[in-house]
Structure 1
Amino acid sequence: MTNDTAITPSIVLFGDGRDWHGKSLQRAFARRGINPVVAPLPSCGFSTDTATGLAIPGLGDHTPRGAFVRFIPGGSFEQVTLYLGILHALRELGVTVWNDARAIERCVDKSTTTFFLQKAGLPTPRTFAGVDRTTAEDVVSRLVAESHKVVEKPLFGAQGKGVRLVETISDLSPPEDVDGVYYLQEFVPPAQEHHQDWRLFVCGGRVVASMIRHGTNWITNIKQGARAEAAIASHDLVDLAVRAAACVGADYAGVDVIQARDGTFLVLEVNSMPAWNGLQNVTSLRLSDHIVDAFLAAALPESVRNAREEA
């Protein structure tokens, strides 16, 4: 090992590095003199032939100081379990992992997110999750009788894909279309004339940017055609987003919040691998720099960071 590598922190960026976010993060690391090891999780695994017990291309027997998780690919239950197992193992080795497997598991599974939001006393729409179709029908019947609509969401899903508005029992998807799990959330009517919600980007325990998403319909995801508008969040809204990220253990997160007609803010979701290109389009801040700075502050001792800056 050369003297240069001795002061160069060993950082792993999990993802293929080819998407907009991966390239943006690599540029941010490069501006700090760091060339992270880019490792798609499908290329990684476990091995008793290495000192760490892990097989991560580019590391060999070396234990990295930090691992940043940009993307976990889909796959079979076994494949995804292995990917998360690698992140669990890195944490056990003392590596700083953003976000670690516990936070990702809590956010990817919307029902678990709901549990932690409620446990922390944070406001969220009434939500029900289970596998029994009859119970799901009972939930819909009860909410409809109270003059509410219901949003059916995939338990694992993002970017507004697969969500549907349920107004009667007949609107419920068949079990095979929801992978056997019904995740039902009370629909929150818009507080304004049109549908909108907030996306707050939390990083290192603070909100670094926020926006309002104006939907062309009740689905307000940017990928579904919503328009982003830069917005300054109130102190109460910032506090809610920070607490929401903290309750699931997320070091960085996109927190989605909607305002009810009575003015109450409700947390809809906490995203542990959020996209921020839509938010970047409406803010002058270079968000990748904020993310990388906060991550490095957590992953590297101050002496190592100072040595890198002075090199």
Structure 2
Amino acid sequence: MTWVILTGRQNDLDQTATPHKIITSRDYLAHPALFRGQRPKIINLSNSYAYQSRGYYASLLASSRGHRVIPSVETMIDLSGRKLYENALPELEQALNRCRRTLGGALPASVSVFFGIGPSQAWDRFARLLFDWFRAPALEVAIKDGEWAQIRRIGFLPLARMKAEQKARFVACLDTYTSRQWRDTKARAPARYSFATLIDPQEELPPSTVGSLRHWARVAGRMGVEVEPITRRDLAKLANYDALFIRETTAISNHTYRFARRAQQEGMPVIDDPLSMIRCTNKVYLNELMLHNGVPVPPTVMITGPGDLEAAADRLGFPVVLKIPDSAFSRGVKKAENMAELKALATRWLEESDLLIAQKFLPTAFDWRIGVLGGEPLFSVQYLMAKKHWQIVNHERRGRPDEGGFRSFTLKQTPAEVVDIAVRAARCIGNGLYGVDIKEAPDGIHVIEVNDNPNLDHGCEDAGEKDEVWVRLTQWFIDRLERQGR
């Protein structure tokens, strides 16, 4: 791994202080061919990160050259004004006050944090959290001490402003940061790219298990890609990776959408992309989109108020399936056996959503799930209905949700019409990874849903096509990075 350190002036950092190459930001900007064919990690220690300054352009162009850099331009902008970073303050101040209790006394007027390392072990929690939020080499935090300590300001600390003891500590922290061994040293292809995988270790029904993601990491490692899990706390770290694979249940209203948007802003290939999230998470939109594109869906009636219920019952009959537009994992999807149940359910749900959709009930023993990646079929599996239930997941049982079993198939074993309709449905959404749910009913094939965040587990969805699933997933990201010239 090549580390390159950019300084504002040639003498800002002694060449003997680090084994890594030191050049000025001016030289880095003036010679775009430097490090061509390499993927160095850049530590930008310019004396100013102001908008359109030399330090600003150094990080901006590092990104365009495919070099990973800290701080990123986004971090520079985030720290340019308190209004831009105030959403981080509650969590940081909570950690600061825990630190205050550990220190057992008054806090200093300011503290310097270098590469997520504080001046002593007591500052560790706060320093790591600060680095998670703002991935920068040297930060200075101004503190207003009191019964509840507050952060007055967070800013960059340039080398030129460091005192002698601070600079000595900075050099030690630089050495610690650049010498960390994050991966094992087993022989493998040199990593060309680093992919982040967003997970929630506490999620009850994650789209991929940790074991499955470890399997992917082994496959990707043979292709020169390192895979690293991140969590919702790591938004500030995102720009240090080349691509993002979201393996939490997505929602427009939570952090998964913010991660997707941030990745898109950084020019990173991302699954799930923000537009796919918007399109797939709303069943009203999906139904309209499928109808517009001639993709078969169950007979459907939109419910805008109690007055639509009679028409829905007349057209669809009973039992009828009622859905909240934005729901996942069979939540927000209920079956009404008669008009009384339909009215009671609709009345309750219309308090949460202005629109509901009612669909004809199509009883089947299983749903097809066809994975589609980049507009081409990826895997095929049948999800069986939960025991004594009409859905693949029964959330009405006490304790853990009850899931039905599965049967995996190769794509060649899958009915061609099922695969064809799934691909047509997915292409209406975009060019990412989708799971298309299909029912085979007596009156034909119907698309029930297109999922932007489909399950992908080793031994289930990949059982038919084996590791080809993970190879193609990895290659999807690589192809987009190579088209960007990264």
Shorter-chain TM band: 0.7 to 0.9
CA contact (8 A) 1:41 1:72 kept: no
Alignment of 1:182-261 (within 5 A): 182-190=356-364, 195-215=365-385, 216=387, 217-221=389-393, 224-231=402-409, 232-261=413-442
Match among 250, 275, 279 for residue 455 of structure 2: 275
Q: Which residue of 1 aligns with 2:470?
A: 288
Q: Post-superposition shift, 1:268?
A: 0.4
Q: Post-superposition shift, 1:275?
A: 0.8
| CA offset digits 1:24-78 (Å, max 9, x no partner) | 443333332322453323542xxxxxxxxxxx2264xx5x543222225669x4x
Alpha-carbon distance between aligned partners in 1 of 2:456 and 2:404, rounded to the nearest angstrom: 14
Does the residue aligned with 2:383 lie in a helix, a strand or coil? strand
Cα distance change, pair 42–125 in 1 and its aligned pair in 2 (3 A): farther
Q: Supply the AA of the counterpart residue of 1:143.
A: R
Unaligned runs of 5+ in 1: 45-55, 305-311
Match among 70, 76, 82 for residue 247 of structure 2: 70
Alpha-carbon distance between aligned partners in 2 of 1:259 and 1:84, rounded to the nearest angstrom: 33
CA contact (8 A) 1:41 1:73 kept: no
Alpha-carbon distance between aligned partners in 2 of 1:42 and 1:120, rounded to the nearest angstrom: 40
Alpha-carbon distance between aligned partners in 2 of 1:213 and 1:103, rounded to the nearest angstrom: 23
Alpha-carbon distance between aligned partners in 1 of 2:248 and 2:423, rounded to the nearest angstrom: 22
Q: Post-superposition shift, 1:117?
A: 1.2
Cα distance change, pair 184–251 in 1 and its aligned pair in 2 (3 A): same
| Residue 30 (structure 1) aligned with residue 221 (structure 2) | yes
Cα distance change, pair 177–58 in 1 and its aligned pair in 2 (3 A): closer
Alpha-carbon distance between aligned partners in 1 of 2:248 and 2:446, rounded to the nearest angstrom: 27
Unaligned runs of 5+ in 2: 4-37, 41-66, 68-190, 202-208, 395-400
Cα distance change, pair 11–115 in 1 and its aligned pair in 2 (3 A): same
What is the RMSD of the two structures over their aligned residues, measured on CA atoms?
Answer: 3.1
Q: Which residue of 1 aligns with 2:204?
A: none
Q: Supply the AA of the counterpart residue of 2:193.
A: P
CA contact (8 A) 1:159 1:224 kept: no
TM-score relative to the length of structure 1: 0.75
TM-score relative to the length of structure 2: 0.51
Q: Post-superposition shift, 1:297?
A: 2.2
CA contact (8 A) 1:228 1:282 kept: no
Moved more, 22-31 or 243-252: 22-31
Q: Supply the AA of the counterpart residue of 1:267.
A: V
CA contact (8 A) 2:197 2:246 kept: yes
CA contact (8 A) 1:255 1:269 kept: yes
Aligned residues: 278
Q: Supply the AA of the counterpart residue of 1:94.
A: G
Alpha-carbon distance between aligned partners in 2 of 1:169 and 1:273, rounded to the nearest angstrom: 34
Percent identity for Structure 1 against Structure 2 = 21
Which has more radius of gyration?
2
Q: Which residue of 2 aligns with 1:41?
A: 232
Q: Which residue of 1 aligns with 2:57?
A: none
Q: Post-superposition shift, 1:246?
A: 1.1
Alpha-carbon distance between aligned partners in 1 of 2:362 and 2:232, rounded to the nearest angstrom: 37
Does the residue aligned with 1:184 lie in a helix, a strand or coil? strand
Does the residue aligned with 2:264 lie in a helix, a strand or coil? helix
Q: Post-superposition shift, 1:225?
A: 3.5
Cα distance change, pair 99–74 in 1 and its aligned pair in 2 (3 A): closer
CA contact (8 A) 2:250 2:277 kept: no
